[in-house]
Structure 1
Amino acid sequence: MKKPIYVALLSFVVLSCKTKEVEIMEITFENRYKFTNEIEKSVLGENPDYQDSSVDYSYVVNHEKALEHWDLAMNAQPKEHKQKQLDSVRNLYKVNDAKDYILSQADHEKIIIINEMHCNATHRIFTEELLKDLYAKGYKNLCVEALYNDGSDTLLNALRYSKYEFGTYLWNPQFSNMIREALKIGFKIHAYETKGDIGGEVREIDQANNMAKIIKENPDEKFLIHCGSGHALEGYIKFFGGAALAGRLHQLTGIDPFTIDQVFYSEKSKRENSNIFSQAFNFENYSILLDKNSKPFGYKKGEERMDLVVFHPMTTYNNKRPNWVFERGNKDVEINMNKINLEFPVMVLAFNSNEDLHEAIPIDITEVEKRDAGCHLGLPKGNYNIVVTNKSESILFKKDVL
């Protein structure tokens, strides 16, 4: 580590009008995240993989670009619904709070399975919002598909925070923040993913067997499973050559899981690309739909089904950051980049001061294209190590959020 550089930085002091001398250290730092120009370069040429690039954007909390690239991957098109169609949907259903409904059902369930789209951080945020109340209802086990099944769960439960080596999807700060919150509440984290590069039917069988073993070892406890998209489907799934994880787990344990979808009616990059329900109701909160008989709207396509669909509100943006970065008790922490003596663009990463910044997943991360572009981090109260890096050079300074 090089000698510290002392600079009087008024703008690094949050909610204060006094100049404070901040110690800025030049450090050696391996930045594992991709800059925008690197991600965009990866999709040049024939057959671009927009699914991969959408996930890369999610890692750096560029939600707008993550959705945009996912829509490119799925060839999403505008959906033009006539007013008569929108009115018909409004007459058929009423909007209810998703969290309230799920918690009302949780008392009667033993296994809840909720899915996610791997490029959409809001799906992790909603699962996180359920954790505290589900724990109070006896759900003590959080089972995470994204966690490598190589002993990483044992290390994670002991360490209390995610490391890069525990699973690639955990690189998204919202995912690792969900894990941190679960551990803080008291959940035990379990890995159940198949070992090795296996897909299709074999993977579903292996995942179900691994989950069934965990349940058998904890017969009196309840389980929340957070998985990727199609693994939460019940019924015959052509893509998997039979039942997916949810269906096979039912077969193995005799327990019918409560399956929750966040994916198939998920947010699009443009409102006009959204499903008819999102266009009809313009959801302001995490919501579900109940028909006139109070039956919840679930996912159904052919033989595929899920018990409940959760609709998310459209993301809005504040200072080029998604609104949800600054919610749930997080403060909008502005970092003035004018005194940063590095070549731009740079990434700004915020790490808990009690976590190893060379191994831990940051609490928040953002890319700053130009020196005068502004930098805003969403951080809860606490003490942080802030790293600013352009991959060639990196600096570190401390920040207290009060």
Structure 2
Amino acid sequence: MRSILILVALAGVWLADPATSVQAQSIPPWQERQLEAARKSDAIMREASRHTGMLAQFQFMRDAYFSSRNPTFRVIFRQYLSWYQTFIGDYDDAASMFSIAQRALPDDRPSPLDDPAWSAQPALTAIPQLAKGYRAVFFNEAHNIPLTRTVTVQLLAKLRAEGFDYFAAETVYQTDTKLQSRGYPTGNSGFYTEEPIAAEMVRTALKLGYKVIGYDALSDATGDEREAEQARNIYRQVFKSDPNAKLVVDAGYAHILEEGDFQGGMSMAEHLYKLTHLDVLTVEQTMLYGHPAASDDHPYYTPVMDRLHPKEPLVFISKSGQPWSLRPGYDVSVWFPPQTLRRGRPTWLDLGGERMPYYVSGEPCNRHYPCLVEARYAGEGDDAIPADRMVLDPVPLNALSSERVVTDSKVPFGELYLRPGTYRVVYCDENNATLFSQNVTIKGHSPRPPRSQPRAATAGPVATLVRGDVAQPSVDQGN
């Protein structure tokens, strides 16, 4: 990761991207304050990376956030903290910490409910059909909402069957030259791949026989220059050496925009078109999902959910076979059903039934809390990013170390989501010392977890946090 982060001004709020740097120019004082907050945020993240173990890194980030009363720093740093919350499997807090509100925009297309020509279809069956005839399919994601990675993970096998043979992920470091031969991502493979669903995406592509590449800019380029460098990296590693290649791309937010302004220039996808003249199927996944606050949802979202009550991600297709997208520049938009929780964890972690919940109790923690539980595939090394991980703790994870007051002695518990197979399940304390380990085997497929539980329902012990949390404002767009 580079030492300074780019900040993109959108709707009056700057958003950080951990892949690039920023060149300070003549800017207003409020922007300079945000740039300084970003520099501080970046320094804190570098310091966090020096701690051993993901739990210790998260705690360092958390304490830095909640110890500060600087509102500008908090606005910037909450995005950084949300990434680490996903890394430890704390998906609900990550979504609440950094929420991108989806407002109606003038160029939004009419809701598909307004025209009977549009019909809802399962995304997992419709997108492979749409991909027929294309040489490239681009998916985007919201980096702190791993829900937006789940469709991509599930579609890799179907796209492989259609002849797609390269998988390019923005997060993958080009410096990890052993990734392909090793067969699984490690902490040196990428940034967002520290999160288990992102790691599962890369791992799945490797297992299916894709050639996996990283393509992000290696220079300090920003804006249009960075997008152009990304496109050149893809072209060099894929189409220049293999003119008949078929490519799947995972990228953040508007990097896959096919046309229209991108930070005053062009997106990676548009730059790549200039190099290849290949038409791309672009799948937008960052706008139509349920936010922690319903007021952040796009106005179309609730009416579609209330009418259709979907149990799996949807797309809309016309009677003539054309896909619907919310905005120009994308071919098709994915709608995700409202999140439900089971034992405090989102059930979308089952990846459409491919993974099953495995119960874990806090007893092996031996009252050493917080306690990190990780499950790694038995055939992978100890350096592998886990298939799933979570933290067991009777105190809310966002409590400062100095404010941990347990008022209930019940043992915490939860569930990991795992594919059939054999795993090493390891319990570690905050110093990354192993408290307990065992091999477990997940056999066959069991019924999918119930999806009817209200989102706010959780199971487990009750604890008191001696601190009042401050509600955080949301922002309008991401990069």
Unmatched runs of 5 consecutive residues or more in structure 2: 1-50, 105-109, 395-409, 444-479
Is the partner of 2:286 in helix, strand or coil?
coil
- Distance change in 2, residues 1:165/1:77 (3 Å): closer
Alpha carbons 2:192, 2:198 under 8 Å: kept: yes
CA distance in 1, matches of 2:287, 2:350: 26
Alpha carbons 1:86, 1:276 under 8 Å: kept: no
Matches within 5 A, 1:285-364: 285-291=312-318, 294-300=321-327, 305-327=329-351, 328-357=353-382, 359-364=383-388
How far the C-alpha of 1:396 sits from its partner, in A, is 3.5
Is the partner of 1:166 in helix, strand or coil?
coil
- Distance change in 2, residues 1:317/1:252 (3 Å): same
Q: Give the aligned partner of residue 53 of structure 1.
A: 81
- Residues 209-234 of structure 1: CA distance to partner in whole angstroms, max 9, x if unpaired? 11122212111121101111111012
- Distance change in 2, residues 1:344/1:200 (3 Å): same
Q: Give the aligned partner of residue 366 of structure 1.
A: 390
Give the AA of the match of 2:378. S
Alpha carbons 1:60, 1:365 under 8 Å: kept: yes
- Distance change in 2, residues 1:276/1:343 (3 Å): same
CA distance in 2, matches of 1:191, 1:339: 38
Q: Give the aligned partner of residue 247 of structure 2.
A: 223
Match of 1:178 among 197, 201, 210: 201
CA distance in 2, matches of 1:163, 1:35: 16
Matches within 5 A, 1:106-125: 106-125=131-150
Q: TM-score, normalised by structure 1?
A: 0.82
Q: Give the aligned partner of residue 430 of structure 2.
A: 391
Alpha carbons 2:196, 2:385 under 8 Å: kept: yes
Count of aligned pairs between the two proteins: 359
In the alignment, structure 1 residue 41 sits paired with structure 2 residue 41: no
Alpha carbons 1:35, 1:367 under 8 Å: kept: no
- Distance change in 2, residues 1:57/1:89 (3 Å): farther
Q: Give the aligned partner of residue 208 of structure 1.
A: 231
- Residues 121-162 of structure 1: CA distance to partner in whole angstroms, max 9, x if unpaired? 122221011111111111011111100122x2x311000000
Q: Give the aligned partner of residue 33 of structure 2.
A: none
In the alignment, structure 1 residue 379 sits paired with structure 2 residue 402: no
CA distance in 1, matches of 2:140, 2:322: 21
CA distance in 2, matches of 1:54, 1:102: 29
- Distance change in 2, residues 1:195/1:77 (3 Å): closer
The alignment's C-alpha RMSD in Å is 2.5
Is the partner of 1:375 in helix, strand or coil?
strand
Give the AA of the match of 2:122. D
Alpha carbons 1:86, 1:279 under 8 Å: kept: no
Alpha carbons 2:361, 2:412 under 8 Å: kept: no
- Relative to structure 2, which stretch is displaced further, 230-239 or 105-114? 230-239
CA distance in 2, matches of 1:62, 1:141: 31
- Relative to structure 2, which stretch is displaced further, 85-94 or 190-199? 85-94
Unmatched runs of 5 consecutive residues or more in structure 1: 1-28, 80-84
Q: TM-score, normalised by structure 2?
A: 0.70
Give the AA of the match of 2:53. N
Is the partner of 2:165 in helix, strand or coil?
strand
How far the C-alpha of 1:38 sits from its partner, in A, is 4.5
CA distance in 1, matches of 2:102, 2:113: 22
CA distance in 1, matches of 2:139, 2:340: 24
Is the partner of 1:164 in helix, strand or coil?
coil
- Distance change in 2, residues 1:93/1:33 (3 Å): farther
CA distance in 1, matches of 2:296, 2:361: 36
- Distance change in 2, residues 1:148/1:37 (3 Å): closer
Alpha carbons 1:350, 1:384 under 8 Å: kept: yes
- Distance change in 2, residues 1:122/1:238 (3 Å): closer
Alpha carbons 1:141, 1:223 under 8 Å: kept: yes
- Distance change in 2, residues 1:343/1:78 (3 Å): farther
Match of 1:253 among 255, 265, 276: 276
Q: Give the aligned partner of residue 31 of structure 2.
A: none
In the alignment, structure 1 residue 187 sits paired with structure 2 residue 210: yes
Alpha carbons 1:34, 1:56 under 8 Å: kept: no
Give runs of ≥4 in structure 1 deviating > 4 Å: 34-39, 85-88, 291-294
How far the C-alpha of 1:384 sits from its partner, in A, is 1.9
Is the partner of 1:133 in helix, strand or coil?
helix
CA distance in 1, matches of 2:194, 2:294: 28
